[in-house]
Structure 1
Amino acid sequence: MPWPLLNITSYSRTIDYPSQSSREEVTRTHEEPPAKGGGAPFAGEQKLVNLVSGKYAWNQPGAQPQPALAAAEERQLQIGLTPYGFIKAALANAATEKKVKGGTEVSYSVNGKFKVSGVIDSQGLVVKTRTWIPNPVLGDMMIESDYSDYKDFSGVKFPSHIVQKQGGFTVLDLAVNSVQVNVANAALTVPEAVRTATAPPVRVESQKLSDGVWFIGGGSHNSVLFEYENYLAVVEAPSNEERSQAVIAEAKNLVPGKPIKYLINTHHHFDHSGGIRTYVAEGAVIVTSAGNKAFYEQAWKAPRTLAPDRLAQSPKKASFIEVKGEYVLTDGMRSLELHRNEGDTHNASILFAYLPKEKMLIEADDFTPGPPNGPALVPLALGLGKTLHGNITRLKLDVTTIAPLHGRVVPYTDFTKALEKR
């Protein structure tokens, strides 16, 4: 399952090795027509500016910096994965070496936590580097960079082709056409707002939608809690274990004494599946599309030494219910329907949920309500919305409310108006 394909129309990266600073600027567009897969829809060009200096990381989408505390470790590691960064880090970290096919493998560790290795060929050129970082779904996830087609750029040998993979899939494929040395102002000054930023606590806010139904938000992703006679069910375990633990705690606070028996997963994208393992540790059965079971079981076999979660610390076998087209979770008193959103280009097997009694739809990524009087949907988002609307019509569902897994709860009429707005 590769990452969604985007065109990079412009890319530059400035690194200052003494201060461990990096500024990465990327301009990218969707393919035409857009490739199938995940990622937030956008129109035209998307410009990203990602920065790190020492232990501080931030993004610069406009005039004001946005602290990115969680990205600091990886961005620092990425400096050490560049050809010259790798050599400098190896010299500074008591590296070891051994002969391998294609050259000499050099290995070292960073902060006693991250293992880094690379291959230097017979010409003294770095041709491969790799490390591992924690990922909620893939465990210790490998990042590997391949460097080839070295050229002389004004006296500096540098690869003209760079390919990076994460979790076995390509995330970057660059053709390098310019390299400059001793660039002015390469050492970054950390903005005060970034220097003083602290990681916010995981926040949950619950909203009762009807008897026995709660919308649990407070972050970038939402979950929905359902009370049955003898148990609870939750739709979606997004982000990571910390988020799932907070949602589980809120569920137990709202409905004490009932176990969470089912966790419904709409699709496998990491931002919507990063907290599933926490529910397995809790004893819940995972309800997901057919095919996802094999993916999760394979992914969860990976080591988790960098950030052991509850399931790694106390292993247990996961139980799954695989949904091929539709499935009804009922105890005779409450019914929750699960339907496959046929023709969805965001994820081919994505599910949405429907409560017939409440006339409520729960969906992920196919419609994210904007602010009142906000702009029209971008073309890609409009296409996803039309597909969802077509499936609602096909199934003859009577919907009055949408509880999206991004954004706020809205009347169904907000959805239909958004599809018509130009």
Structure 2
Amino acid sequence: MSITVLGRYRVDATINSENMLQRIHTWVPDPVLGDMNYEHEFTNASYIDIGNGIRFPTGWHQHEGWDDNYQAQSVNAGHNAFGGTLADIRANDCAGDITVPASVRRASFEVEVTTRELSDGVWLLGGSSHNSVAVEFDNYVAVVEAPLNERRNLAVIDEVARLAPNKPIRFLVNTHQHHDHIGGLRTYMHIGATIITHWKNYDFYTKDVLNYAPRTLDPDMVALWPPTELAEGYQYETVRENYWLNDGERAMHISYVHPLTHVEGMLVAYLPAEGILIEADLFDSPAPGDPPASRATAANRSLFNHVERLGLEIETLVPIHGSPVGWSEFARLVRAGR
């Protein structure tokens, strides 16, 4: 059986031999994968009675995206499925209606890009949970990170055009492949930018992201105006250890950070002349009003050790999450935990 939810989403349900719900399936729009399969299946042969005539499953399995072995091989232990068995199930004691706060009801989802100049020709593009950084070279601009979704990145691209008019965005530096950091890859590809990423991301991006998979629920630029062949053109520069952008005046050193438990294939971008290091998820500066971190994480230590090993001279650490901080402040945090 199937129903339409919110006037938009078809939700399919499978009923088992006991006339109980066995599986729920729908499609949801995803900035990375397009029309994405979303399903929840109860794995019990029979459901248990939890009282008052309520029968409930104890086993469950969920997928976000298909699990049909046609996707790119996972190289970072990430999976799109999970499940388990519930040891104890009890009926909820509902306390009554919950009032939605006025601030939530009035919440706006407008895209805002705030600009902060970090150095001459280097701009932090914030205003969201994720930043991007634009770096101006002689004949082009390189942008570090394309997070969230196309709307966000189109706004960032417009701001870059205002800051550096008549210079194309030639390179998009992708730090890693987590979904919240790659929702704009297709946008930059469509405007002609080359994606600089770690080589282990290549298969995933080629097979599952930069493709012709249907995007009917929330079509993006590639879906609406598809190029003749996605494989044509200068789409990628893959990095194993180090990669440089250099126009004779300004240089950007892109390097691979390891070991990490957070993700495999992490890149950071270093501007030697400016003493700026741009990173994602390895250090998030606290939000305004929040206390600073009291101890260093394993990711903090890996980033610090990476910088020490390469002998990078850094003055400012620029996170994709949060505001820039002095490198000395970050170094004190790491050294205090040794």
What is the aligned partner in structure 1 of residue 166 from structure 2? 257
**Pair 1:124–1:234, CA change in 2 (3 A):** same
CA contact (8 A) 2:285 2:292 kept: no
SS in structure 2 opposite 1:268?
A: coil
CA contact (8 A) 1:162 1:176 kept: no
**Pair 1:194–1:341, CA change in 2 (3 A):** same
What is the aligned partner in structure 2 of residue 369 from structure 1? 285
What is the aligned partner in structure 1 of residue 262 from structure 2? 346
What is the aligned partner in structure 2 of residue 71 from structure 1? none
What is the aligned partner in structure 2 of residue 314 from structure 1? 225
**Pair 1:375–1:213, CA change in 2 (3 A):** closer
Deviation at 1:119, TM superposition (A): 1.5
The alignment status of 1:161 with 2:59, answered yes or no, reads yes
**Pair 1:411–1:193, CA change in 2 (3 A):** closer
How many residue pairs end up in the alignment?
313
Q: Give, in whole Å, the separation in 2 of the partners of 1:345 and 1:411.
A: 25
Alpha-carbon deviations, 1:212-232, whole Å to 9, x = none?
A: 211111111111111111111
The unaligned stretches of length 5 or more in structure 2 are 67-79
**Pair 1:307–1:337, CA change in 2 (3 A):** same
CA contact (8 A) 2:14 2:22 kept: yes
CA contact (8 A) 1:143 1:166 kept: yes
- Residue from 112, 119, 122 that aligns with 2:17: 122
RMSD over aligned Cα, in angstroms?
A: 2.0
Alpha-carbon deviations, 1:11-42, whole Å to 9, x = none?
A: xxxxxxxxxxxxxxxxxxxxxxxxxxxxxxxx
Instruction: Report the AA paired with residue 364 of structure 1.
Output: A
Alpha-carbon deviations, 1:316-354, whole Å to 9, x = none?
A: 326111111111112232211110001011111100011
* Identical counterparts, % of pairs: 41
Instruction: Report the AA paired with residue 309 of structure 1.
Output: D
Q: Give, in whole Å, the separation in 1 of the partners of 2:50 and 2:16.
A: 19
TM-score, scaled to structure 2: 0.87
The alignment status of 1:246 with 2:155, answered yes or no, reads yes
The alignment status of 1:279 with 2:188, answered yes or no, reads yes
Higher RCO, Cα 8 Å, sep 6+? 2
Deviation at 1:131, TM superposition (A): 0.7
Q: Give, in whole Å, the separation in 1 of the partners of 2:94 and 2:121.
A: 61
Q: Give, in whole Å, the separation in 1 of the partners of 2:60 and 2:29.
A: 23
CA contact (8 A) 1:376 1:421 kept: no
The alignment status of 1:170 with 2:170, answered yes or no, reads no
The alignment status of 1:417 with 2:338, answered yes or no, reads no
What is the aligned partner in structure 2 of residue 268 from structure 1? 177
The unaligned stretches of length 5 or more in structure 1 are 1-105
Deviation at 1:392, TM superposition (A): 0.6
Instruction: Report the AA paired with residue 161 of structure 1.
Output: G
- Residue from 131, 137, 152 that aligns with 2:49: 152
Select between 168-177 and 304-313 the one with higher mean Cα deviation: 168-177
CA contact (8 A) 1:161 1:176 kept: no
Q: Give, in whole Å, the separation in 2 of the partners of 1:326 and 1:216.
A: 25
Deviation at 1:282, TM superposition (A): 1.3
Q: Give, in whole Å, the separation in 1 of the partners of 2:204 and 2:94.
A: 47
Q: Give, in whole Å, the separation in 2 of the partners of 1:200 and 1:117.
A: 29
What is the aligned partner in structure 2 of residue 398 from structure 1? 313
Q: Give, in whole Å, the separation in 1 of the partners of 2:7 and 2:110.
A: 27
Alignment of 1:280-295 (within 5 A): 280-295=189-204
**Pair 1:200–1:111, CA change in 2 (3 A):** closer
Give 1 or 2: higher strand fraction.
Answer: 1
Q: Give, in whole Å, the separation in 2 of the partners of 1:269 and 1:184.
A: 36
Alignment of 1:3-152 (within 5 A): 106-149=1-44, 150-152=47-49
Alpha-carbon deviations, 1:151-197, whole Å to 9, x = none?
A: 1222322111122221242255351622327x4434433333333x1
CA contact (8 A) 2:59 2:83 kept: no
Instruction: Report the AA paired with residue 393 of structure 1.
Output: E
Alignment of 1:320-331 (within 5 A): 320-331=236-247
- Residue from 131, 135, 143 that aligns with 1:222: 131
Deviation at 1:112, TM superposition (A): 4.0
Instruction: Report the AA paired with residue 151 of structure 1.
Output: I
- Residue from 269, 272, 284 that aligns with 1:356: 272
TM-score, scaled to structure 1: 0.70
